[in-house]
């Protein structure tokens, strides 16, 4: 299992290096696709940034939901204790 993970990680590293090098060469050689490549890289960066912001928002919503449910459960327990103490 660890060997397969190592192979996949190595493949991803090689793939990333090839794509990065190729992109750098194309951008430095001022081809007619420069604008499209730069635009796509900007979109990739924004998507990455949006992903991080969305994870942050999701985390906040999950914490709010957990707080609300815990407070509701806690209130139910308090109400049950009050009813038991009256009897």
Q: 18 and 50 share a domain?
A: no
21 with 37, same domain?
Answer: no
Q: Whole-prediction pTM value? A: 0.56
Q: Is 87 found in the same domain as 47?
A: yes
Q: How many residues comprise the chain?
A: 87
- Residue 53 sits in the same domain as residue 78: yes
Half-sphere exposure of 28 (CA within 13 A, CB side): 6
Instruction: Kindly give the residue spans of alpha helices, DSSP state H, lying in the chain.
Output: 2-28, 34-86
- Measured CA to CA in angstroms, residue 55 lies from 47, 63, 68, 71 at distances of 12, 12, 20, 24
pLDDT tens over the chain, length 87 residues: 788 999 999 999 999 999 999 988 888 888 888 899 999 999 988 888 888 888 888 888 888 888 887 777 667 666 667 666 765
* Residues of the domain holding 51: 33-87
What is the C-alpha separation between 53 and 71, in angstroms, rounded?
27
Inter-residue contact 25 to 33 (CB < 8 Å): no
Looking at the structure, tell me whether residues 45 and 5 fall in a common domain: no
Q: What is the pLDDT of residue 83?
A: 67
Coil, helix or strand at residue 87: coil
């Amino acid at each position: 299992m660890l060997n397969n993970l190592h192979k996949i990680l190595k493949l991803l590293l090689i793939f990333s290096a090839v794509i990065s090098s190729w992109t750098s060469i194309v951008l430095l050689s001022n081809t007619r696709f420069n604008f499209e490549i730069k635009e796509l890289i900007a979109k990739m960066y924004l998507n990455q940034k949006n992903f991080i912001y969305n994870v942050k928002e999701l985390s906040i919503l999950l914490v709010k939901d957990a707080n609300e449910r815990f407070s509701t459960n806690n209130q139910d327990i308090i109400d049950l204790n009050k009813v038991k103490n009256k009897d």
